[in-house]
Structures are given as structure tokens and as C-alpha cells.
Amino acid sequence: MKAGSPAQRRRIAFDEVGSTNTLAFEAARADDPGMLWITAECQSAGRGRRGRAWLSERGNLYMSLLLLDPAPLADLGNLPLVVAVGVRNGIAGLAGIDDDRVRIKWPNDILVGGAKTVGILIESETLRSGRQAVVIGLGVNVVHWPDDAPYAVTGLRREGVEASLETIFQGIAAGVEAAIGLWDRGQRFAAVRRDWIRFNTGMGGPCRVNLPGGHFAEGRFADLDLQGRLVLERHDGVRETYSAGDLFLLPRAAQDDGAAFPHPSRP
């Protein structure tokens, strides 16, 4: 799939909705053919990963893309990294922003100047027809961002982007579509992986991966494996892979302190 022009891009734009992801799934259940963008200026029931609430104030951008059978099920696990590359490229192409300041933190957090700017939630559902509906939801901080997050957060206006919400949407949509096209239904993830590594932040340094159930693992972010999983090297040299979790980057000075890398707490 190649990135379409604004005139070719299928899109339904709303003022206020409960959730753009919910509307995208409703479209799928109504036999929409897919490659449909749903956008809204605010949401009353936005959600993030693991059921977390997502701040959805007016002035930010909320957008979801409906895909049908985008790749074999075995390849869908690396779609979050594909989307991250696309969103990163879309934002980096906006006027007023320094391309090199736009980075990806595993698996798909988009950072500008080290602060989170976009939330990405990917959900899927098997339809009655047997087809797989996949919805990519994006919440883009433009003029609002939470002030109580456990990590640095920013918005595009603060980072120098003065473009309209429409221009921001078109730039990000084109980036996502281009990355999905490069991915080629999972057949060319290696090409996407190269771009992800090029634009990542944190690889090679110390980190903590928070896991479900209050467990965590600490060590060095050693690599991104061929399936897009984080490779964590513990202080004793043992390597483990993680396909999901919340990544927190630790001060690099901690690399010299073996005590900073205890054995992972097992889930």
C-alpha cells in the first residue's frame, strides 16, 4: 500500500465522538472495505493501552485507521513498530520541527525532544465474515498534554509546530500509509526494522521494562530482534526478549553499577 494523496484518502471527520477506535470497528462490522480514517476533534471515552484513560481535550488530534486483513496473523505482532516508524516520519516532516528530535521509544512511543507526544493503541477483532479488522488509534498532543504522567510529555505547539490540525493529520496519515506499504503485509519487516533502529532512543543503554502484574526487568537494551522484540541483557550477561511492556530509560551512569541490574522479577 502506497501513501495516498489527501484527495484519495478515505476519511470521516467528526467534531466529538466517544472513541475513534470504536467508530472504526463499527464501520468494519458494517462491511466497510477498510483503509478508512476516522478523525475527531475531541473524544469523551478515549482509551490507551491496557484500558487506561486517554486525555482527549479539544485542540489535540484523534485519529484511527481501519485495516482489514493487513497481514497474516503471525506478522501482526510487529505492526506497532511499523506504525511507530510511520508516525515518526509524519511528524518529522512537519514544518517547524527538528527532524532529529523526533524519536521512537520501544515499542511505539513517539518522543519529541525526549518527551512523549503521541499515544498509539492498536486493537483487532475477528469479524463475522472471518476477516481480521485491525484499528490503529493515534492520540496526538498538539496544544494539551497531561501534567501528571510518570514520564516527560509535550505537545507539537510547544515543539515549534504551528501547522493546522488538518495539515498534521495529512502528514501523519501519509507517513503511516507509507510505512504500512513498506512493510508489505509483513514480508518486508526487515526494512521497517532498519528504520526503527535508525530513529530509536535508548538502545544500548540501561532500561527497565515494566510488565503486567507489577513485575519488571532491568538491564541493558541490547537489541531489537528480527520479530521486533526488545532484547534485554541482564547484568550477568543473560539475554531475554520481551514482546510487550512499558519501557523506562535509566541514566546511563547506572550501566557501571551492577547493583542497578537485578535479576528480572518473573511474571
Q: pLDDT tens digits for 121-180?
A: 999 999 999 999 999 999 999 999 888 788 899 999 999 999 999 999 999 999 999 999
Classify burial at 167, counting beta carbons within 10 Å of its beta carbon; exposed 0-12, middle 13-18, buried 19 or more.
middle
Domains of the chain in sequence order: 10-199 (3.30.930.10), 206-260 (2.30.30)
d(CA 32, CA 14) in angstroms, rounded, equals 17
Residue 108 has pLDDT above 70, yes or no: yes
Report the pLDDT averaged over residues 78-95.
98
Q: What pLDDT shows up at residue 213?
A: 83
For the entire predicted model, the pTM comes to 0.89
Q: What pLDDT shows up at residue 194?
A: 98
Q: What pLDDT shows up at residue 2?
A: 62
Report the pLDDT averaged over residues 223-239.
96
Nearest 10 degrees: CA dihedral of 19, 25, 28, 34? 60
The amino acid at 249: L
Q: What pLDDT shows up at residue 89?
A: 98
- Residue by residue, DSSP assigns the chain as -PPPPTTT-EEEEEEEES-HHHHHHHHHHTT--S-EEEEEEEESS-B-GGG-B----BTBEEEEEEEES-S-GGGGGGHHHHHHHHHHHHHHTSTTS-GGGEEEETTTEEEETTEEEEEEEEEEEE-TTSPEEEEEEEEE-SS---SS-SS-B--TTTTT----HHHHHHHHHHHHHHHHHHHTTTTTHHHHHHHHHHHBSSTTSEEEEE-GGG-EEEEEEEEE-TTS-EEEE-TTS-EEEESS-EEEEPPGGGGG-GGGSPPPPP-
Residue 266 has pLDDT above 50, yes or no: no
Q: What pLDDT shows up at residue 44?
A: 85
Q: What pLDDT shows up at residue 146?
A: 80
Q: What pLDDT shows up at residue 1?
A: 57
